[in-house]
Amino acid sequence: MQPLKPELSIISLLDTLSLTPASDHRQRLLRISLNHQDNALLPLEQITEILQVNVTDVLSVPELPECVLGICNWRGEILWLVDLCQVSGYPSPFQQEPLPPSIFSVIVRVNQQAIGVGVPAVSEVELHDLKQLQPIVSGLVSPGLLPLVWGLLPECNDPVLNIKAIAEYPLWKNQTIKA
């Protein structure tokens, strides 16, 4: 077996490790589904973990908004699960019968609190230059999604979501503080 050329080895290693060369200013973003047609992107550096939670492991909490799916155990902590579709005005697969067997939870930490953002599907990690973000224009995304968007990436026409805005969303934030 012949050794690879040095330049091919470096490219292969970068691809394998999902790293970008130092001159590349792009950031890694996670593509999530909001429904069968619409996607959004989340900055990977702000994500603690992605896990699939069985719906039977989610304990619903009475008298909370519908966007709060409930709580579950995550590494010995109570993890609040918030339905991103419900928050942003999309039909939620977690509010329909039959329930999906599991929830993809994108776990983020904001102000030392872990929050699971429930989404129907997680796709892939992509590289994008966030300096290219354009302001979002009304009508391009669901009105409920507007307060959660940093901007729109023109090359893929998908919104980049602000994780802090999701975690501090006023519809459910006050409820979690009481718990």
| 47: CB partners within 8 A, 6+ apart | 30, 106, 107, 108, 163
Residue 144 maps to which CATH number?
Answer: 2.40.50.180
21 falls within a domain = no
136 falls within a domain = yes
7 falls within a domain = no
Residues of the domain holding 98: 26-178
19 falls within a domain = no
1 falls within a domain = no
Q: Which tokens go with 143?
A: 């009105």
Instruction: Say how many domains are in the chain.
Output: 1
| Amino acid code (one letter) for 125 | V
113-119 and 77-83 beta bridge pairing: parallel
15 falls within a domain = no
- State how far the Cα of 94 lies from the Cα of 104, in Å rounded to an integer: 11
4 falls within a domain = no
Q: Which of 80, 54, 62 is nearest to 169 (CA)?
A: 80
What is the distance between the terminal CA atoms of the chain, rounded to a whole angstrom? Answer: 61
Phi, psi of 177 (to 5 degrees): -65, -35
pTM metric for this prediction: 0.77
pLDDT of 65-93, one tens digit each? 888 999 999 999 999 999 999 888 888 88
| Amino acid code (one letter) for 10 | I
pLDDT interval class at 18 (50, 70, 90) = low
Give residue 111's region: left, alpha or beta (phi > 0; psi -120 to 50).
left
Eight-class DSSP state of 1: -
pLDDT of 113-171, one tens digit each? 889 999 999 999 999 999 999 988 777 788 888 888 999 998 888 999 998 888 877 65
